[in-house]
Structure formats: structure tokens, C-alpha cells
Structure 1
Amino acid sequence: MDSQPYPPRAGGPLPIYRSMVANGSLAADPSQAHAVDRLQDLWERLRGYDPRPPAPEVPGFFGRVMRRRQTEEYVPTGLYLVGEVGRGKSMLMDLFFDTAEVRRKERIHFHRFIQNVHARFHAYKRAHPQISDPIPPLADQIAKASALLCFDEFQVNDIADAMILGRLFQALFDRGVVVVTTSNTEPDNLFRGQPGRDAFLPFIALIKQRLELVEMNGARDYRRERMRGLRTWHVPADAMAERALDEAFERLTGGATPEPVTLDVMGRTLTIARAADGVARCDFDFLCNQAYGAGDYLAIARTFHTLILDRIPRLSPDNYDAARRFIVLVDTLYDQRVKLIASAEAQPDKLYQRGENAKMFERTASRLDEMQSEDWLGLTHIK
């Protein structure tokens, strides 16, 4: 961090960040210092920002030109904070969002936002079958509610999302919406290697045009540091273990308020009731005593870098279906390098001890042991 004093500025994320460094709650980090300086600059440009309603729709080329000219007059450039996990991107964006002097603003996980968009898109088409293009009225609704949108963990993995995002974001920018987002992926690498990516390239160009890229690749991995020394397997699954998992969730999310996250799994939806900052909290009964399969577990493993799992029971032929699903779950978490923190009725090698399938569980127990090691906890999540 620059040792020269910053010029005095009233409010915003920078003074708070400097205070946190000064009192030792954060270590000085040049990458974070640069990012918070860019956030502070945007904070100043957004003070009291309240864009006027968009001009009435005028069809054709001249309508597009009028809207673009209106946009260029008053919409500040947003920010795209990019870097590996654990660099403090979400923490800095939250400082910015909490202090932003914008009357209409929303901070939301990007996956939840896109799920809401799909739901509203289809609802509008059902309610207004005579409207051929729901994007403009949908953008009107979003822009009316929020002049500032802050997205956490911007990522595109689905072709249906890719097809709708370009036109929606262009419409939002045309309506004066300012976007700040965090991501682990640089814009040029979004949706890379996926079928239909060529149709997604104009959206990437739009993002690069309308959002300033701020790279955060400092040496410190704050998420990994939060993991350091954290006990990951709690036996037995009692009230003490539940309190320990509560504390782990709070520590790993920085005290963020858990919210539901709905995942799309091959046209179905799977809702994780409690999640924040890439951490999901579920119980064994929810994940393993329902008809979920490998696709569901893969969606979870790609979305969350950590799963906190409550109340794993002893396993046997009596609950074989749940045991089989648990094996698939562990294999999927292992393959994607998802961190697992759990409470259970026994240590991994004692979970499944009797019956003809006990031998099959030995590999799972071995993986569960490995997933508690410091080396494993230091591995990078695979999305």
C-alpha cells in the first residue's frame, strides 16, 4: 500500500479500508489498495446519482442512436473486479455498496440475478403474449428499481444465460444503470470453449467497453487464510458441532447474511436455502435423502467453493440409497476441489462399517480424510 497520505475525501470505501488496515483487521495489500482507489473514484462520481427515466421507445436506427446519445451523456463507467479466489474482491465491493450514496441500488449474487431474470422473462411472455420482445420492459423494471447493480461472482456457464445477457445489459446501460461486479474470470475468458460462444462475443466487447477492468492478483489469498487452522470434521453431530459449523460459516463468509441460491440443473431448479460468498450450508437429509444425482451435485460443486454439511449419520445397508448419494456427492466435491466442512456421527473410516457395501465406502473414507488436510484446503476450486 502506498505510504503517501491520500488526499482528504469525504466518506466512501477508501477511508474505511484505510482504517481497517490501520487497526490491523486487514493487512496492507497493493492490489486491494489499487482496487479500492478505483472504487472510491466511482463512489465520488456516483454521489446522488439518479438517472432520468429512459426516453420513449423510438423504433429503428434513429431510436437506437437517440438512446445511445442519451446514455453517453450521463452514465458513469462501472467496474469489473477480477482475480483469483480469496483476494478480497467481495469485501471491497461490499464496502463500496454500503457507502454508495445512490438512492436505488442492489447487491446480489450474479447467479441469483440471472435466475430471477429468466423467471421474470418467462412470466412476462406468459402475461403479455402479444409482446414479441420482453427485454425492453424487463430492463425498464430493473432500471426503475436500481440505478446501481453490484454483482458478486460474475460467471457465465449456460448457453441460455449467454444468449440473453448481451441484449439485457445493453438495455440496462442504455437506461443509465451502473454495474460493479466481481469475477474470477477475465472478460475475454468468459464462456470460453462453450458451444455458441461466437454469439456471446459482442457481450464481452460490451463489458470491456462499459466496465473498467481492475485486476486483483495480489500474493495473499484471504479465503485460504480464513481456512487455515479451521477444523473441518466434527464428531458427534450434536449442538456443539452445530455451533462450530455456524462459526465456520460466519468466518468463511466474513459475516455475510445467508440467502437462498437457486441453481438450474438441466431445466430443473435446485434451491440451496443458505448460501453466501461462495459458501453453501445444507444438511445431509436435504442433499442425500432426496432424489438428487450427479448433475445436481455438479451444479453445487461448480457454484460453491465450500460446502458446510450438517448431521451426516452412520451409514449401512439400512440407508443404502442415502449412502450411495453421499458417495456421489463426495466424489463430485473431490473432483471440483470443493472444501467440505461437516458434522457427523463418526470419523470417515467409521461411518460405514457393516454390510456388503462397506468395502465400497473405503475409497470415500480415504477421500474424506484427504479433504481435511492442509494441502487439500490449499487447492484451487475448479468451476
Structure 2
Amino acid sequence: MAATRGPRYPARAGLVRAGGAALCGLGSATVTVPDATPAVSPDATPGAARDARPAATAAATRAATPVSLAGRRPEVPVARLLAELVPPRHFAAESFDTYLPDPQFASQGSALARLRAVAAAIREPARGSWLTGRRRAPAPAVYLDGGFGVGKTHLLASLAHAVGTDRTAYGTFVEFTNLVGALGFAPTVEALAGNALVAIDEFELDDPGDTVLMSRLLRELADRGVALAATSNTLPESLGEGRFAAEDFLREIQALAARFEVLRVDGEDYRHRATVTEGAPLPDAAVRAAVRARPGATLDDFRTLLGHLAQVHPSRYGALLDGVSAVGLTAVGPVEHESEALRLVVLVDRLYDRDVPVLLGGSGARGLFSPAMLRGGYRKKYFRALSRLGALADDGGELTASG
């Protein structure tokens, strides 16, 4: 998994999907991140010529000093949040044609065929007629259910590409709830209603309030004629079981489930196919050396970074990584609080989306999440984070080998 930048996606009018241009007058897509102390020009002050060597030495020292993520406080305009609602770069080149169903699981081929038909229906929706009294068919809403690693995200991204990324808002559940937090509910509906498709990856129930919020958002969008697609690891009727039991909350889940056509995607269970990667951690000194040798790499104490994440809205974690070529973490150890763990999961997702290698010092990913966390209601998030962090740490290990 190479840490390279993926292709940019087609832009809507007034919008650059990868950030940059303004969207609907919402402002420029710039991010304010504190820079290192600027070098002083030799011509800036009298007598600067005789100070050229110290200035050059200072510049070299700054260049060798890694940036800290904990020193960054990005400001992200709404336009950028909207512009980045595209499939992750891991799936930038994927399509229905590149999805190869496993012949042992007929549901994979069935889901593929159905999604091809859904894409065609979204591109050319059937029209109603006042002459015949026929109403326009409601926009499709599909729900891909299956375990880890069976290709749900591949299929969802393929659907987005088939419809057109310029007509699709694609993001994770957290990204959409963060968008509502940034814009407000009504402006979010207006911002998303112009899409032909809204695609939600990893539809998980971490908070009943967020679930009610998303349920309402999807109802509003469906009423506007927007097609919906989502992925999860459980059937909609089962979402939330074992976490919350409030009667009104379960009623909200059932109402949401009724909106979707469920497409089961079976496959070999991830537990039998692969184990979570928990490679050997690196010595902290090796992490520091590798980071200093790599331009654009960052270096942070793990506990300090966890504390900083609590001060940054999760919608800004992507901007936190702007220009970052690798992330080095020293003194990595078990995460003590679930709130910290959930924020770390979001950061790992953003790192994974961007193919940013990670160098783990301390105890590495071993024991990062407690046994209680891995048995609890958020266990799927934690296992996903461990899997992704393991892959990124493998990439980070290659940096030390090549250095």
C-alpha cells in the first residue's frame, strides 16, 4: 500500500472535490495550520550577510525538526467538508467490473447485479405521468450487510462511480454527523439534496442521538428524491442490539430499516481468513530517526496526541494530516478511556484513507484496546482500527528498513 496521493475526482460547478474552490458561497477551502518559525531573509536586516552561516544552520535545524500533530489546529471551511465527500483513494479506480464475486457465495454476484440495476435507475429515473396518474417511483435505497472484508465498501464505491462522483455525496456515518454539526441540520439537507445519491459507509450506531439524527436526515433526503445506499455489518433490524434498549430508539431504528432494500453480502468470515496485525513495535529511538529522515513526517508522544484529539473536532482530523507523509508515535500504550479510543478510531480511518504510513513506538498496537473494549458494543470499530493500523504500521516499518 503505497503512500501516494490518489487522483482527484470530477468537480461540480463551483466545487473542487479535493478542496480548493468555494462551494455555494460557503467560503474557500483553506486550512490554517501553524507553520514552523519562518527563516529570516539575509536581506531583511543590516549586517545579515555576516549572519548567513548561523541562519543557514538554524534553517537546517528547523528542517530536521519534525512537525507535531499536537501543534496543529486546523480550521476547515464547510466547503471543504462537502468537497471531500468522495470515495476513499483506496477505491478511486474500482468499479463494478473490478469486483470479482466469489463463486462460493452466490449473494456476492446477486448484490453486484442488483447494484448495477440500481445505478442505472439512479442515472435514468423512471418518470411519472399526470396523464396516466402514474407517480414517479421513489428513489432507490439499498443496504449492504455483511462481515468484514467481503467487499461492501468496494461495491458502495463502485455504485458511486457508476452514478458519478460529481452527483454523489460519499462518506462515513461519522463524516455525515460531523457535517450536521458543522452546518446545522437544515443547511445539511439543502447541501446534500442536490445529489442523485448519498452513500454512507460503515453505518454504525455509536450514539442513539446520532442515529436519530441520521434517520431524520435520510428521511428528508429520500423525500427530496435522493437515492440512498449504506453499508454495515449487521442487518438494519439488528442495529443497536446490545448497546441501547430505549423503546423510542428501537422504534427509530425500525423506521429507518423500512427505507432500505437489504442486500446480503456473504463471504468467508474475516476471523478465519486473517488475524489482526499487531507487528512488533519499533524502539522509540528508531521512530524518531525515521521521522527525521523523512520530509513531511510528524512526531508525537502518543498520550499527548490523544489529549490533543480531544481539543479538535473529528471533522478536522483529515485536515490535521494535510501535507503529512508519515506519522511517528512514541510511547504508544493501552488506551484507557473509551472516548479516547473512539477518537483514535476516527484518526486511524483518516490515516488509512490517505495511505499515511505510521511508525509505532512503545508497545505498538499490542493491547491498544482493552479486552473489555474488544468485547463491547464498539468492538467492530476497534477491530477495524487495529486491522488498518496494522497495515499502516507495516508501511511504516518499510520506511525504517529503507532508511
Give the aligned partner of residue 78 of structure 1: 141
Distance 1:173 1:287, change over 3 A: farther
2:121 paired with 1:40: no
Do the aligned residues in 2 keep the contact of 1:294 with 1:328 (CA within 8 Å)?
Answer: no
2:159 paired with 1:96: yes
Provide the rounded CA distance (Å) in 1 between the counterparts of 2:205 and 2:127: 28
What secondary structure does 1:139 align onto? helix
Give the aligned partner of residue 330 of structure 1: 368
Do the aligned residues in 2 keep the contact of 1:156 with 1:162 (CA within 8 Å)?
Answer: yes
Give the aligned partner of residue 199 of structure 2: 150
Q: Could you say which structure has the higher strand fraction?
A: 1
Give the aligned partner of residue 284 of structure 1: 329
TM-score by length of 2: 0.50
Give the aligned partner of residue 337 of structure 2: 294
Give the aligned partner of residue 361 of structure 1: none
Give the C-alpha shift of residue 159 in structure 1. Answer: 2.7
Give the aligned partner of residue 180 of structure 2: 117
Give the aligned partner of residue 182 of structure 1: 231
Do the aligned residues in 2 keep the contact of 1:74 with 1:176 (CA within 8 Å)?
Answer: no
TM-score by length of 1: 0.53
Deviations 1:31-52 (A, max 9, x none): 3211111101101211245999
Distance 1:119 1:333, change over 3 A: farther
Give the C-alpha shift of residue 269 in structure 1. Answer: 3.6
Query: One-letter code of the match for 1:284?
Result: L
Provide the rounded CA distance (Å) in 1 between the counterparts of 2:345 and 2:396: 27
Give the C-alpha shift of residue 149 in structure 1. Answer: 0.5
Query: One-letter code of the match for 2:241?
Result: R
Provide the rounded CA distance (Å) in 2 between the counterparts of 1:96 and 1:226: 29
What secondary structure does 2:136 align onto? helix
Do the aligned residues in 1 keep the contact of 2:142 with 2:261 (CA within 8 Å)?
Answer: yes
* Structure 2 residue ranges without an equivalent (≥5): 1-93, 298-307, 321-325, 375-382, 398-403
Counterparts in 2 of 1:96-245, with a 5 A limit? Answer: 96-101=159-164, 104-121=167-184, 135-136=185-186, 138-144=188-194, 146-195=195-244, 197-219=246-268, 221=270, 224=273, 233=281, 236-237=286-287, 239=290
Give the C-alpha shift of residue 312 in structure 1. Answer: 4.0
2:326 paired with 1:310: no
Distance 1:142 1:283, change over 3 A: same
Do the aligned residues in 2 keep the contact of 1:97 with 1:150 (CA within 8 Å)?
Answer: yes
Give the aligned partner of residue 74 of structure 2: none
Query: One-letter code of the match for 1:283?
Result: G
Provide the rounded CA distance (Å) in 1 between the counterparts of 2:117 and 2:178: 31
Provide the rounded CA distance (Å) in 1 between the counterparts of 2:227 and 2:281: 43
Deviates more, 1:84-93 or 1:331-340: 331-340
Give the C-alpha shift of residue 203 in structure 1. Answer: 3.2
Distance 1:327 1:334, change over 3 A: farther
Do the aligned residues in 2 keep the contact of 1:49 with 1:101 (CA within 8 Å)?
Answer: no
Do the aligned residues in 2 keep the contact of 1:170 with 1:206 (CA within 8 Å)?
Answer: no
* Structure 1 residue ranges without an equivalent (≥5): 1-14, 53-68, 122-134, 247-262, 276-280, 315-322, 347-383
Query: One-letter code of the match for 1:108?
Result: G
Tell me the C-alpha RMSD between the 2 structures.
5.0
Provide the rounded CA distance (Å) in 2 between the counterparts of 1:160 and 1:86: 28
Provide the rounded CA distance (Å) in 2 between the counterparts of 1:193 and 1:264: 28
Do the aligned residues in 2 keep the contact of 1:83 with 1:183 (CA within 8 Å)?
Answer: yes
Query: One-letter code of the match for 1:143?
Result: A
Do the aligned residues in 2 keep the contact of 1:51 with 1:147 (CA within 8 Å)?
Answer: no
Query: One-letter code of the match for 2:191?
Result: Q
Query: One-letter code of the match for 2:223?
Result: D
Provide the rounded CA distance (Å) in 2 between the counterparts of 1:47 and 1:88: 23
Distance 1:137 1:345, change over 3 A: closer
Do the aligned residues in 1 keep the contact of 2:236 with 2:253 (CA within 8 Å)?
Answer: yes
Q: Percent identity?
A: 20
What secondary structure does 2:199 align onto? strand
Provide the rounded CA distance (Å) in 1 between the counterparts of 2:339 and 2:106: 39
How many equivalent residue pairs?
A: 260
Provide the rounded CA distance (Å) in 2 between the counterparts of 1:86 and 1:311: 24
Do the aligned residues in 2 keep the contact of 1:233 with 1:343 (CA within 8 Å)?
Answer: no
Do the aligned residues in 2 keep the contact of 1:48 with 1:103 (CA within 8 Å)?
Answer: no
Distance 1:174 1:232, change over 3 A: farther
Provide the rounded CA distance (Å) in 2 between the counterparts of 1:80 and 1:195: 22
Query: One-letter code of the match for 1:120?
Result: L
Provide the rounded CA distance (Å) in 1 between the counterparts of 2:280 and 2:169: 33
